[in-house]
Structures are given as structure tokens and as C-alpha cells.
Amino acid sequence: MLFTLVVIYGLMVGSFLNVCIYRLPRGESVVKPRSRCPHCGHQLTVRENIPVLSYLFLHGKCSSCKASISPRYVLVEILTATVFLIAYWQFGPTLDFLFFTGFLCLVIVITFIDLDHQIIPNQLLLVGIIPGLYPLFRDGWGAYKLYLVGALGLGSGFYAIAVLGQLAFRKESMGMGDVKYAALIGLILGWQSGIVATALAFVSASILFLVLMPFKKIAFGQRIPFGPFLSLGTFFALMWGSDIIHWYLKQVF
């Protein structure tokens, strides 16, 4: 029953995240007006705003103008519910679950905004400081220093990559949004799991390049948003960071 409630809660939160993903880059309020069709402006009724089910009932079309609704809205809702379910499996009904799912909601919003617009809004990064303070209250100042080291280390490391890339390629190779996002990830995860998240991000980006380049779907030097790769690495590091570190050390030593 609890897992079912977590899934329902995740679907509802995912519906709100869709609003954030669409409106924040446009400078619109995420509170009002009510959700509406992006094509004709038709305000959605309660029946039309039920996560996943409304999309199925309406056959993926607006009830007013019959324009197609992007299936990505459903994808975000299901993705959020899945993330919540995995987090609940890992953390149970604890404060860790509450704060870390809050952070993962930011991760989802950042991911899709970066995919669409290649930006990471500063207001989202500032909101991320709230769950970033949670380890201070949970573990105390002594342990929290390691999280500050993670923020400083990842932030300065990505800033160095940005500067060196600018000098080497004479163009921006790493945006400041990625630099600040990396610093936030270090603050949430600490330096050890932060390194895991970063490593997974670079590995996954490299794999994507190697897979797509032979098919000419992506070209060398083409700019792609790096935030989604950081988000993927962050999720795995947050859920299984310690396990990944132990596995890696066994392989090396």
C-alpha cells in the first residue's frame, strides 16, 4: 500500500514538474493560471489534468483544438514516480527520502530545461541549496565539511574545464550553469559520491558520442547539453554511490 501511495504521489509531483519545465524558461508563474493547452490556451479541467490517465482518455490530444499533446508529459510523470519509488526502496519513510526526492525533483526539471533550452536557471540552483543544507542538520558540522569540500571541488574542477576548453577551442565548451550545477551536486552528495556522479556523467556522454557519431547523428565539436548527463550520474551516485565505490576499489586493488 505504501509503495502504491508513493507512486501516486510521484505521478502528481511529476505533473507539477511538467508545469515548471514549460513555464520557468519563459518567465511564467508556476502557480497560476491553471494548466492549459500550449496550442490553443484551453484551460484544463480536473478530469483533463489527471496524471497519465488523462493522456490516455484523451488519446493524446487536446479536448478543445484536437492538437497532439507531447507524450513527454507522461514520460516526466512516470519518470518522477519511478524515481520516487526507487528512492523509497532505498531510504524508506525517512527524512532522507523527503529531502533527496525534493532534490531529485530539481534534477528532473533541470534535465529537461537543459535539453530544451541549453540553460540551467539560477533560481533552480538556489532552491537546491535547501536540500543541500540537510546533511548539516543530519550529520553535524564535522561531517558537513566533506560536503562543502565536494561543492568546492566539483565547482572549481568544472570551472577549470570551462576555462581550459575556452582557451583550447576558442569557444565555450562548458557553460557556467554546468559549473554551478556541479557545485550543487557536490554539496548534496559530498566529495566521494560527487566524484562518482561526475565520472558517470563523462562516461555516459562519451558512450553517447561513440554510438551516435558513426551514424552522423552528432558531430565532433557539436555543443550538447551536459546537464542531463550530470543528472544521470547524480541519480546513480545518490542511490548507489557507496556500492559503486566499493565495487571500483575491488577492481583496482
pLDDT of residue 64: 79
Checking if the pLDDT of 45 tops 80, the result is no
Prediction pTM value: 0.92
Q: Which of 73-77, 105-109, 141-145 has the lowest mean pLDDT?
A: 141-145
Given the C-alpha cell 581550459, which residue does it identify?
164
pLDDT of residue 220: 67
Q: State how far the Cα of 151 lies from the Cα of 155, in Å rounded to an integer.
A: 6
Other Cβ atoms closer than 10 A to 225: 21
pLDDT of residue 13: 95
Q: pLDDT by residue (tens digit) across 180-235? A: 999 999 999 999 999 999 999 999 999 988 888 877 777 766 778 999 999 999 99
Q: pLDDT by residue (tens digit) across 52-83? A: 888 888 878 877 788 888 889 999 999 999 99
Q: Residue 103 — pLDDT band, cuts 50, 70, 90? A: very high
pLDDT of residue 29: 87
Query: Among 184, 188, 196, which residue's Cα sits nearest to residue 243?
Result: 196
Query: Among 101, 69, 80, which residue's Cα sits nearest to residue 11?
Result: 80
Q: Where are the domains of the chain?
A: 1-93, 99-253
Q: State how far the Cα of 237 lies from the Cα of 82, in Å rounded to an integer.
A: 16
Given the C-alpha cell 541549453, which residue does it identify?
118
Given the C-alpha cell 480536473, which residue does it identify?
46
Q: State how far the Cα of 127 lies from the Cα of 140, in Å rounded to an integer.
A: 21
Mean pLDDT of the chain: 89
Q: State how far the Cα of 226 lies from the Cα of 198, in Å rounded to an integer.
A: 11
Q: Are 96 and 89 in contact (CB under 8 A)?
A: no
* Residue 39: all three cell numbers together: 496550442
